[in-house]
Structure 1
Amino acid sequence: MLIQEGDKRTPATDLMLASILAFVAGGVNSAGFLAYHYFSANMTGNVSMTSDHLAVSQLDLALGFLTIVAMFIFGAFTASILIEIGKRQRRSNIYALTLIVEAVLLILVGLAVALSAQPLNGVLVVGLLSLTMGIQNAASTRISGSRVRTTHVSGVATDLGVGLAMLLGVSSGADRLAIVPRLKLHLVTIVFFALGGVLGVIGHQLLGGVSFCVFAIPLIILSVRYLR
């Protein structure tokens, strides 16, 4: 699942990867929002909030949202650098290593939140969570040839609507066979992102910052088999 790239991948491996990573993204996003009222995976909303606060001269709030966006971009940049280095060194497990980096960061953030005697700065915490989401989204995008985008729900929802319209417009069985797997992938991504969001809220209510550590577990389980 974390070795083959692009067209070498099967729809089944893309489906499994999308379900696991979207679940993690939805959980981290919702838990972070419940705790700090910032989204770590919703860059569309964060850019919009930056514009809104700039328009009314609330520069401190605008800077907070802009920082979260910048951290997401930095996460994607970091993941791409790691992947490029891994490819040059011919490491077939570079995607697994990249997701392990994400998992470690989630665990560190979760422990910092759980063990801190004082409430941590919300922009700092969500910014670090956004960093992990940027890492994840870049890794899933690159390994799948842009088919799997686990944090970009607005784009996935758009693709789902477009795909449904195309499905209604085609008549040949071959065309339908080409469209249906993509629709399944988009639908699974949205469903598991939402499911992760529900469990993220419940998990944070029960466990607090430890919930971020819990959402690192699927990443570790997914990646550890490729580390040898």
Structure 2
Amino acid sequence: MKRHRHILHPLQSARIILGHRRSAGADLLLATVIAFTAGAANAGGFFALGQYTSHVTGYLSQLADHLVVAEWWICLVAVIAIGAFVSGAAFCSALIHWARLHLPGRQYAVSVAVQGVCLMLFATGGWYEGAAWRLWCMACLCFTMGMQNATVTKISGGRLRATHATAMITDIGIGLGRALYRRHAPDAVHRVDWHRMRLMTQLVFTFFLGGVTGALGYARVGFGFSLPLGCLLLAMALPALWKYRQG
């Protein structure tokens, strides 16, 4: 019997990855791509701005510490970073709900496209100097990170995260603890979810790989390295938007 290999057209692939009908494979692939870009952008935030823009816990600690010693500028930076991250997540949620009603089948592609545009806006960070401009760049990147985390959270029904490495590593640690316990108590009720462990490990590694890529890219190119990251997200989103528009 003759066997046929089915190779998906890029438009079909984008529609599957960003479509409203979800599958575990599509969720994981999307989360992997976004985790990579988030890791790269996060490293870019440090090299360009001296801040890890996905680390909301760090900003909260920074706000508390510097509030006590009355260092108001640093407090303002932390408040803006946290506010931008929350605003990005809120905007993403509202955008997906709006697009579900007005652009059915394209709600996730719209969100990813906006993230690509935001990363391209961050590329303008090298145009000007000054604290206010750098603050705007930081807010833009934190906003994008909030959108990325919210997109993967909503699209996977809360199963996956894109930028929250702390939570993913915690899940891995919990799984390892269960595995060690079951070696000494094979009849234990709680079983190890090895599939989830592999997913979390893959996303953490992808975030790390993105960080290495971002560190190299931003060190050599500067803010302009955000352009290929934005193009990567737009390359995923625009074919899906066009496919749904056509069909």
Structure 1 runs (4+) deviating above 6 angstroms are none
Task: Report the alpha carbon displacement of residue 28 of structure 1 after superposing the two structures with TM.
Answer: 0.5
> What is the one-letter code of the residue matched to 2:222?
G
- Normalising by structure 2, we get a TM-score of 0.83
1:14 equivalent in structure 2: 27
Q: Percent identity?
A: 30
2:75 equivalent in structure 1: 62
Which residue, out of 211, 229, 232, partners 1:197? Answer: 211
Q: Report SS of the residue matched to 2:52.
A: coil
> Is 1:159 aligned with 2:175?
no
> Is 1:133 aligned with 2:149?
no
Matches within 5 A, 1:174-189: 179-189=193-203
Task: Report the alpha carbon displacement of residue 117 of structure 1 after superposing the two structures with TM.
Answer: 4.4
1:225 equivalent in structure 2: 239
> What is the one-letter code of the residue matched to 2:204?
I
> Is 1:23 aligned with 2:36?
yes
Q: Report SS of the residue matched to 1:145.
A: coil
CA 16–77 in structure 1, closer or farther in 2 if over 3 Å, else same: same
* Structure 2 gap ranges (5+): 1-16, 243-247
> What is the one-letter code of the residue matched to 1:142?
K
> Is 1:214 aligned with 2:224?
no
1:43 equivalent in structure 2: 56
CA 157–104 in structure 1, closer or farther in 2 if over 3 Å, else same: same
> What is the one-letter code of the residue matched to 1:34?
F
Q: Report SS of the residue matched to 2:240.
A: coil
Task: Report the alpha carbon displacement of residue 90 of structure 1 after superposing the two structures with TM.
Answer: 5.6
Distance 1:161 1:126 in 2: 31
Distance 2:20 2:107 in 1: 11
> What is the one-letter code of the residue matched to 1:143?
I
CA 181–14 in structure 1, closer or farther in 2 if over 3 Å, else same: farther
> Is 1:118 aligned with 2:133?
no
Q: Confirm or deny: 8 A CA contact 1:93 1:227 kept in the other structure.
A: yes
Task: Report the alpha carbon displacement of residue 216 of structure 1 after superposing the two structures with TM.
Answer: 1.2
> Is 1:144 aligned with 2:156?
yes
Q: Confirm or deny: 8 A CA contact 1:167 1:179 kept in the other structure.
A: no
Task: Report the alpha carbon displacement of residue 45 of structure 1 after superposing the two structures with TM.
Answer: 0.9
Which residue, out of 105, 110, 114, partners 2:118? Answer: 105
Which residue, out of 1, 12, 19, partners 1:3? Answer: 19
Distance 1:189 1:55 in 2: 36
1:79 equivalent in structure 2: 92
Q: Which has the larger radius of gyration?
A: 2
CA 224–169 in structure 1, closer or farther in 2 if over 3 Å, else same: farther
Distance 1:18 1:117 in 2: 33
Task: Say how many residue pairs are matched.
Answer: 220
2:46 equivalent in structure 1: 33
> What is the one-letter code of the residue matched to 2:79?
L
Q: Report SS of the residue matched to 1:226.
A: helix
Distance 2:218 2:103 in 1: 39
* Post-superposition CA distance 1:117-168 (Å, at most 9, x none): 4356322211110001111111110010111211111111111111222344
Distance 1:106 1:117 in 2: 17
> What is the one-letter code of the residue matched to 2:74?
L
- Normalising by structure 1, we get a TM-score of 0.89
